[in-house]
Amino acid sequence: MPYSQEVYHLAKERLSERRQQALRAADYRREQLYQELPVLRDINNELMTIGASIAKCVVKSDSRLSIKELSERSLTLQAEQDTILAEHNIDKDILEPRFTCEKCDDTGYIEKDNRTEVCDCLLRLMAEIAGEQLSTDLPLKESTFASFRLDYYSTEPDSNGKIPFNRMSNIYNYCVNYADTFNEHSKSILMRGSTGLGKTHLSLAIANEVIKKGVSVIYVSAPEIFSKLEREHFNYRYADQEDTFNSLVKCDLLILDDLGTEFVSPFTTSCVYNLFNSRILAGKPTIINTNMQLNELIQAYSQRFVSRLIGSCDRLDFIGEDIRTEE
Ligand SMILES: [Zn+2]
């Protein structure tokens, strides 16, 4: 199991809550229906009595004839029930619980070739919960596309003759389109530029949109996540370390903010490379934000890492003045 016991239990709890809710809703529909059409309650009561009698017959190995009769009566009753429902234009499945996952009925497990397997929905829930535990204090609500202020960027050319407003409009449109069309094959993005130019805001705006589509997103700042991984590593808490690393690799979209502001050590450089590389191999997109120049990135990490980065990312270069002072 690639997740900790805690994550597993929380996921099971959520799943069981889903199942209970589906069952309660079905009970409620049944009660409403029986109040409207009491004859269905009578049919149901008789069906239950027959079910119990058949069970008794089987246990006692009583005469087969009686089982046959009971089964026939049961089929007649079921047909009667279907007819009544059809006459009232009521869906035949009204009494069936509507589970979120049709594969496992929200139990988290499926039987396959005489073996019990963990259902995708439980795996997905575990990834989600592990992600929530990592993405603490995510300032999601404030960081939307709607709240991004393009008018803070200058319409005057900078020293390189580039107009920040135009550049940022392009970047903004790129990000809106990226979120709109996001899928498992989306490219990774390298957002580069000085602090306070909106890299975090736009990457969280992307997160906001894709989360609505059910995409699992983890947002972490480099200093926090690498000190966490380092602590777990050197305290020999390998299980925790594996847990953290797995969640980072497995989420649909990873946003790694402020790369280069962490304490750079041989441990972190290899960690950064492994993380990014594992995600590329798994075909999963990553958004990396940094205020380092490319040559600084090469110095801090390695030529190998930066080549991999450039080869697999769309690059967005943010320019302008720190907009936080304008705000
Ligand atoms: Zn399932």
Per-residue pLDDT tens digits for 14-62: 999 999 999 999 999 999 999 999 999 999 999 998 888 877 777 666 5
CB 206 within 8 A of CB 218: no
Kind of pairing between the strands at 109-112 and 115-118: antiparallel
CB 189 within 8 A of CB 178: yes
pLDDT for position 63: 56
Q: Are residues 171 and 256 in the same domain?
A: yes
Going from the Cα of 137 to the center of ligand 1, the distance in angstroms, rounded, reads 29
Q: Are residues 142 and 108 in the same domain?
A: no
Which residues, at least 6 apart from 227, have a Cβ–Cβ distance to it below 8 Å? 262, 263
- Higher pLDDT, residue 106 or 250: 106
CB 296 within 8 A of CB 260: yes
pLDDT for position 129: 80
**Angstrom distance (rounded) from CA 140 to CA 206:** 10
Residue 262 lies in a domain: yes
Give the 3-state secondary structure of residue 289.
strand
pLDDT for position 215: 84
CB 15 within 8 A of CB 122: yes
Residue 131 lies in a domain: no
Residue 254 lies in a domain: yes
Going from the Cα of 103 to the center of ligand 1, the distance in angstroms, rounded, reads 5
**192 - beta bridge partners?**
290, 317
CA-nearest of 50, 54, 32, 53 to 41 is: 32
With bands split at pLDDT 50, 70 and 90, how would you rate the model's confidence at 238? low
User: What are the two backbone dihedrals, phi and then psi, of residue 162, each rounded to the nearest 5 degrees?
Assistant: -100, 145
Going from the Cα of 70 to the center of ligand 1, the distance in angstroms, rounded, reads 35
Q: Are residues 166 and 232 in the same domain?
A: yes
Q: Are residues 315 and 182 in the same domain?
A: yes
With bands split at pLDDT 50, 70 and 90, how would you rate the model's confidence at 1? very low
Going from the Cα of 28 to the center of ligand 1, the distance in angstroms, rounded, reads 23
- Higher pLDDT, residue 179 or 324: 179
Going from the Cα of 117 to the center of ligand 1, the distance in angstroms, rounded, reads 10
Going from the Cα of 19 to the center of ligand 1, the distance in angstroms, rounded, reads 11
Going from the Cα of 83 to the center of ligand 1, the distance in angstroms, rounded, reads 32
pLDDT score of 261 more than 60: yes
Going from the Cα of 145 to the center of ligand 1, the distance in angstroms, rounded, reads 34
Give the total number of structural domains in the chain.
Answer: 2
284, 290, 294, 298: CA torsion to nearest 10: -80
pLDDT score of 121 more than 80: yes
Give the 3-state secondary structure of residue 196.
coil
**Angstrom distance (rounded) from CA 192 to CA 289:** 6
* Domain containing residue 63: 5-118
With bands split at pLDDT 50, 70 and 90, how would you rate the model's confidence at 137? low
Going from the Cα of 159 to the center of ligand 1, the distance in angstroms, rounded, reads 57
What would the pLDDT profile of 182-220 be if each residue is shown by its tens digit? Answer: 998 899 999 999 888 899 999 999 998 888 887 888 888
Q: Are residues 155 and 112 in the same domain?
A: no
**Which residue, of 118, 145, 163, is where some domain finishes?**
118
CATH number where 183 lies: 3.40.50.300
Going from the Cα of 16 to the center of ligand 1, the distance in angstroms, rounded, reads 11
Going from the Cα of 285 to the center of ligand 1, the distance in angstroms, rounded, reads 25
pLDDT score of 150 more than 80: yes
Mean residue pLDDT across the chain: 87
**Which residue, of 118, 147, 181, is where some domain finishes?**
118
What would the pLDDT profile of 154-190 be if each residue is shown by its tens digit? Answer: 888 888 888 889 999 999 999 999 999 999 889 999 9
CB atoms within 10 A of CB 202: 27
CB 176 within 8 A of CB 210: no
Place of tokens 């990014």: 276
CA-nearest of 145, 139, 142, 210 to 172 is: 145
pLDDT for position 178: 97
Q: ∠ at Cα 261 (256, 264), nearest 5°?
A: 100
pLDDT for position 326: 47
Q: Are residues 197 and 239 in the same domain?
A: yes
Going from the Cα of 91 to the center of ligand 1, the distance in angstroms, rounded, reads 24
pLDDT score of 229 more than 80: yes
